[in-house]
């Protein structure tokens, strides 16, 4: 039973309890697992060993699954995933297109094991890599393998992981620290959370290996307080690892000490920046500082500190177990391995996916994602959250890796991938992201503090229909300034959503300013509502519900909207009965 946040909020815990009660006397083992990734179809129930997946199950379906499938071996076709085109049920997990085209390595255990039971991780080969490192490998050999694997930082920036480890190993100090950056604050991404919730031990093992090979004896996992389930499971994992002697003094009966503490973030996006995160653990305001010195030389409390993302650490045990050659077979020339994306927005199959680097957007959105919602026209894909950019339809066939995204003006970022259709206004999206980064700017350096504010003012003017044609140039000049002069990654990447929409969707900016028109019909100041006299029956529903008294007309006669009073709240269009649909929304104002 999937018990990731998505399925839990859809009611999976009740279903789990019901299965447990009904199957308590049988040979079947009922267990909660981490996120399967296919949140769109949740709550998900999977039966093993036959690998059947039931989608959108409810508590009321439990009895039928038990009677039919478990007791008589007959699948409940009604609850199987259906092919969106042919409507044929697909019983096997592995044959569903959403899973078939993925390559799950970092997420290999998510959805298969009970994350609250260390022995299940061990049954899947867990904690073998750290034993190998302790017994057979020198720190130089471990760092050498990581370097050779070309693993790059999966937090988004793509810095070579092996190099980072080497810098920290070479730093001379009595005390070193290792930190896991789990401050996944980007709106629209949840892949770190899924690893933390679904396979916390793989992170612990990766951190142990990092600690042993760089000489750190104390580790911190910095995780968002907004992820209560992840925090709970991490604490359970750390406790179980301590009980087994995998954390604490003389780990795995060796002469090494290593322990991990879970630290809760307090809700500041900028703390995803490594120096800000370190200050936050020290109990200070989370403002970034100049680099160098890099944390690998001087980090937490002035000691050399190794800091990597959740997915980066979770990749390490795999590389040690399977070898660097296995890892480098996947991916592109400069970006090896896999990337994890949260696929959301106007796409048929939302969820968490893991794909080899170098896959195209088309394969992700139209292959795994099953195309856009209701077959609407694809407009753009936003990759990398507030630091990333919006890519248009003609870039669907570009292979995605760290470098190609950077060239396109976006970035891997945290791996959020939001699909947008014709109903999304690109100026509004740029404004949305900038509003977010502006709010989260820590205010320490002026290009970011003042520049993002000025940019936001211009964007607000544009969506409110108050901007002048020369504002586009000013906006792009400001964006370049903020990008090049800001102190940390937040400011340096904050203009990306604006710059990419200016680059690929400039016509929409021009339409907003010159024609006072929002083609996606999102920007309230640039749309108008009208009542179609041929359809209106004079039922007075809109008249009664309009908060501004902007509708006139008598009962049983055609109504009309007084444009000067209308605030475009849209209540009339919602209240108009669907079979009449007399209220229509137009792009542009008269």
> Residue 364 Cβ, how far from another protein at the closest point, in Å?
15
Token code pair at residue 36? 């399967």
| CB closer to another protein, 284 vs 560 | 284
Do the Cβ atoms of 314 and 161 come closer than 8 Å?
no
Do the Cβ atoms of 242 and 248 come closer than 8 Å?
yes
Q: What is the dihedral of CA 285, 289, 295, 301, to 10 degrees?
A: -40
| CB closer to another protein, 257 vs 574 | 574
| CB closer to another protein, 9 vs 560 | 9
| CB closer to another protein, 205 vs 354 | 354
| CB closer to another protein, 130 vs 383 | 383
> Residue 217 Cβ, how far from another protein at the closest point, in Å?
17
> Residue 468 Cβ, how far from another protein at the closest point, in Å?
26
| CB closer to another protein, 360 vs 423 | 423
- 306 sits in which H/E element: strand 305-309
| CB closer to another protein, 5 vs 335 | 5
End-to-end CA distance of the chain: 55
Identify the CA nearest to 126 among candidates 258, 314, 310: 314
3-state secondary structure of 307: strand
Interface contacts to another protein, rule CB under 8 A: 5-6, 8-10, 39-40, 42, 184-190, 193, 225-228, 263-269, 280-287, 342, 344-346, 350-351, 382, 385, 416, 418, 420, 424, 429, 432-433, 436, 442, 569-570, 574
Q: What b-and-e string marks burial along 92-104, b requiring 16 or more CB atoms within 10 Å of the CB? A: ebeebbbbeebbb
DSSP state at residue 382? E
> Residue 245 Cβ, how far from another protein at the closest point, in Å?
25
For helices 228-243 and 191-198, the axis angle rounded to 10 degrees is 40
Give the whole-angstrom CA distance, residue 213 versus residue 54.
43
> Residue 271 Cβ, how far from another protein at the closest point, in Å?
8
| CB closer to another protein, 140 vs 574 | 574
Tokens 């299965």 correspond to what residue? 19
> Residue 296 Cβ, how far from another protein at the closest point, in Å?
21
Token code pair at residue 511? 């339409």
Do the Cβ atoms of 541 and 573 come closer than 8 Å?
no
> Residue 558 Cβ, how far from another protein at the closest point, in Å?
26
Identify the CA nearest to 315 among candidates 195, 474, 215: 195
> Residue 384 Cβ, how far from another protein at the closest point, in Å?
11
Give the list of residues 6+ apart from residue 133 with CB closer than 8 angstroms, or none.
Answer: 142, 209, 212, 213, 320
Count CA atoms within 13 Å of residue 481 on its CB side: 17
Burial of 172 (0-12, 13-18, 19+ CB in 10 A): exposed
Token code pair at residue 245? 């002697």
| CB closer to another protein, 276 vs 357 | 276
| CB closer to another protein, 569 vs 589 | 569
- 361 sits in which H/E element: helix 361-362
User: β-pairing, 378-383 with 389-392?
Assistant: antiparallel
> Residue 266 Cβ, how far from another protein at the closest point, in Å?
4
| CB closer to another protein, 49 vs 547 | 547
Identify the CA nearest to 222 among candidates 185, 261, 177: 261
> Residue 412 Cβ, how far from another protein at the closest point, in Å?
16
Do the Cβ atoms of 389 and 418 come closer than 8 Å?
no
> Residue 162 Cβ, how far from another protein at the closest point, in Å?
30
């Amino acid at each position: 039973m999937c018990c990731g946040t998505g399925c839990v909020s859809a009611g999976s815990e009740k279903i789990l309890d019901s299965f447990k009660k009904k199957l308590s006397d049988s040979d079947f083992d009922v267990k909660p697992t981490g996120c399967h990734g296919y949140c769109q179809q949740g709550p998900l129930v999977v039966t093993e060993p036959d690998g059947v997946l039931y989608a959108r199950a409810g508590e009321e379906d439990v009895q039928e699954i038990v009677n039919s499938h478990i007791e008589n071996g007959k699948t409940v076709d009604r609850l199987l995933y259906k092919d969106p085109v042919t409507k044929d049920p697909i019983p096997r997990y592995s044959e569903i297109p959403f899973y078939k085209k993925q390559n799950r390595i970092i997420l290999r255990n998510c959805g298969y094991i009970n994350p609250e039971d260390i022995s299940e991780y061990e049954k899947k080969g867990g904690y073998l890599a750290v034993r190998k490192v302790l017994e057979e490998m020198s720190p130089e050999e471990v760092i050498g393998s990581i370097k050779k694997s070309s693993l790059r930082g999966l937090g988004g920036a793509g810095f070579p992981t092996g190099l980072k480890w080497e810098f920290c190993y070479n730093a001379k100090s009595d005390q070193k620290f290792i930190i896991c950056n789990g401050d996944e604050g980007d709106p629209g991404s949840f892949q770190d959370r899924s690893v933390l919730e679904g396979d916390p031990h793989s992170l612990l093992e990766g951190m142990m290996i990092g600690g042993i090979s760089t000489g750190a004896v104390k580790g911190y996992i910095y995780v968002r307080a907004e992820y209560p389930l992840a925090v709970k499971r991490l604490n359970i994992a750390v406790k179980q690892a301590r009980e087994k002697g995998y954390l604490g003094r003389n780990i795995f009966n060796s002469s090494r000490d290593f322990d991990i503490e879970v630290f809760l973030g307090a809700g500041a996006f900028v703390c995803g920046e490594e120096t800000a995160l370190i200050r936050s653990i020290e109990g200070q305001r989370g403002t970034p500082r100049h680099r160098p010195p890099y944390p690998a030389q001087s980090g937490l409390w002035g000691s050399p500190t190794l800091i990597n993302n959740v997915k980066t650490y979770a990749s390490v045990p795999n590389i040690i177990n399977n070898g660097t050659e296995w890892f480098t077979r996947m991916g592109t020339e400069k970006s090896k391995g896999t990337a994890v994306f949260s696929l959301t927005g106007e796409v048929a199959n939302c969820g968490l996916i893991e794909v080899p680097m170098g896959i195209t957007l088309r394969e992700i959105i139209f292959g795994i994602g099953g195309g856009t919602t209701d077959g609407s026209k694809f407009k753009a894909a936003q990759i990398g959250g507030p630091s990333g950019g919006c890519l248009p339809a003609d870039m669907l066939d570009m292979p995605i890796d760290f470098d190609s995204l950077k060239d396109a003006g976006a970035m891997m970022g945290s791996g959020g991938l939001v699909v947008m259709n014709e109903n999304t206004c690109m100026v509004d999206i740029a404004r949305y992201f900038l509003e977010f980064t502006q709010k989260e700017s820590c205010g320490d350096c002026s290009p970011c503090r003042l520049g993002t504010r000025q940019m936001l003012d211009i964007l607000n003017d544009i969506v409110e229909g108050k901007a002048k044609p020369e504002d586009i140039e000013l906006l792009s000049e400001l964006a370049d300034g903020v990008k090049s002069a800001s102190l940390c990654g937040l400011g340096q990447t904050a203009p990306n959503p604006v710059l990419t929409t200016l680059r690929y969707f400039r016509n929409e900016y021009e339409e907003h300013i010159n024609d006072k028109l929002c083609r996606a019909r999102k920007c309230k100041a640039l749309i108008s509502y009208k009542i179609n006299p041929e359809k209106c029956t004079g039922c007075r529903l809109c008249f009664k519900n309009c908060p501004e008294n902007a509708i006139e007309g008598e009962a049983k006669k055609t109504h009309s909207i007084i444009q000067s009073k209308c605030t475009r709240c849209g209540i009339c269009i919602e209240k108009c009965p669907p079979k009449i649909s007399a209220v229509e929304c137009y792009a542009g104002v008269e």
